[in-house]
Amino acid sequence: MASSSGNSSISTKFHSSGSEEDLQLPMDQRKRKRKQSNCESARRSRMRKQKHFDDLNVQVERLTKENSEILNRVNLTTQHYVNVEAENCILRAQMGELSQRLQSLNAIISLINTTTTTGICQNDCFLTIADNFMNPMNMHYLNQPIVASAEVFQW
* 5 assigned to some structural domain: no
* 84 assigned to some structural domain: yes
* 3 assigned to some structural domain: no
* 119 assigned to some structural domain: yes
Gap between the Cα atoms of 129 and 134, Å rounded: 9
* 145 assigned to some structural domain: yes
**SS (HEC) of the chain:** CHHHHHHHHHHHHHHHHHHHHHHHHHHHHHHHHHHHHHHHHHHHHHHHHHHHHHHHHHHHHHHHHHHHHHHHHHHHHHHHHHHHHHHHHHHHHHHHHHHHHHHHHHHHHHHHHHHHHHCCCCCCCCCCCCCCCCCHHHHHHHHCCCCCCHHHHCC
Q: What is the pTM of this model?
A: 0.44
pLDDT for position 2? 47
Residue numbers of the chain with a pLDDT score lower than 50: 1-16, 122-125, 127, 129-130, 141-142, 144-145, 147, 155
* 2 assigned to some structural domain: no
Based on the structure, what is the number of domains in the chain?
1
Residue span of the structural domain in which 79 resides: 10-153
* 38 assigned to some structural domain: yes
pLDDT tens digits, one per residue of 10-50: 444 444 455 555 566 678 888 889 999 999 999 999 999 99
pLDDT for position 26? 78
pLDDT for position 147? 47
